[in-house]
């Protein structure tokens, strides 16, 4: 993709920043909710899944990996 600019919403930008800070590591939905949305404990909403899907549509294929029963990782986990 090279130097292509991609427009991100504020929340998408916060999510991508979180994933990039932990590149190569698994980020759980709970920690993403706490860091990006400020929501802690027991939240079962699929908001993280929805925003990850939005990011995936804007980024190169396979940038964000789903780690089954754990969460997400930017790059290989």
DSSP letter at 73 equals E
Segments forming the whole domain that contains residue 67: 10-74
pLDDT in tens, 45-72: 789 999 999 999 999 999 999 999 999 9
| Among the listed residues 3, 22, 20, the one whose alpha carbon sits nearest the alpha carbon of residue 55 | 20
Give me the pLDDT at residue 41, please: 63
Report yes or no on 25 lying in a domain: yes
Is residue 76 over pLDDT 50?
yes
Has residue 4 been placed in a domain?
no
Taking residues 70-77, what's their average pLDDT?
A: 87
Residue 65 maps to a domain: yes
pLDDT by residue (tens digit) across 20-41?
A: 999 999 999 999 999 999 887 6
Question: For the chain, how many structural domains are there in total?
Answer: 1
How much is the average pLDDT of 68-77?
Answer: 88
Q: Extract the tokens encoding 15.
A: 């999510």
User: 1 lies in a domain?
Assistant: no
CATH number at residue 45: 1.10.10.10
In a domain, 45, yes or no: yes
Question: Rounded to two decimals, what is the model's pTM?
Answer: 0.86
Q: Is residue 36 part of a domain?
A: yes
Domain-located, residue 52: yes
């Amino acid at each position: 993709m090279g130097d292509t600019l991609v427009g991100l919403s504020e929340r998408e930008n916060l999510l991508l920043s979180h994933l990039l800070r932990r590149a190569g590591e698994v980020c759980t939905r709970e920690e993403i909710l706490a860091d990006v949305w400020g929501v802690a404990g027991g939240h079962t909403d699929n908001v993280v899944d929805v925003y990850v899907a939005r990011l995936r549509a804007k980024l190169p294929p396979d940038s964000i990996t789903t780690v089954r029963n754990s969460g997400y990782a930017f790059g290989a986990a």
